[in-house]
Structures are given as C-alpha cells and as structure tokens.
Amino acid sequence: MSEKSLLSKTQLGLYLECDQYPERTTYNMPFLCALKKETDVSRFKSAVEAVLDKHPALSSHLVEESGQVYMEKRHDNRLKEYRLSDEAF
C-alpha cells in the first residue's frame, strides 16, 4: 500500500454508513488483551508491532481531502501500553 490510497467502493460504503450514523458501533472491534503474569510484555509488544509493520492496512486511518476519502498509513506503529490491576476487571 502506498502512503495514501483511495478507498474501494466497499470501504467507501462502510465509511459513509459510519459517518452518517456515528452513534452505531456495528463495525467497531474493541480489543483487550489480558496477558499472563509470566508473559514477556516487551517481546509480545515487539511481535505485534512487527505484524503492523508488515500489514500497513492494520495501522492506517482514514482522511478526507477535497471531498475524497483516503486510507493513509500511520508511520508510528508503536503500541501504547496500559497496565491495569486485577481490580479493574
């Protein structure tokens, strides 16, 4: 994928639907990864970042310019790390 590309007709249709009905969460995919205490968080984080580097669509975002919607690659695939206590669940 180049740095910026037009959406396919299917992608554009989903974008327009989400834009028209922002209160709907039909296509949202929230994700929480709870790791075992013995997990090497640094290695896990590096592995996920490597996948994001290989598959740019996973870390892209949508931008609108001059009436066109584009998928644009984000250059920073570094993950944010949040540590939650057991009580948070």
Q: Which DSSP helix (H) or strand (E) runs through 12?
A: helix 9-20
pLDDT tens column, 28-82? 888 777 888 899 988 988 998 888 888 878 888 899 999 899 999 877 767 777 7
pLDDT tens column, 6-22? 999 999 999 999 999 99
62 - beta bridge partners? 71
Give the phi and the psi of residue 47 in degrees, each rounded to 5.
-65, -45
DSSP state, residue 78 = P
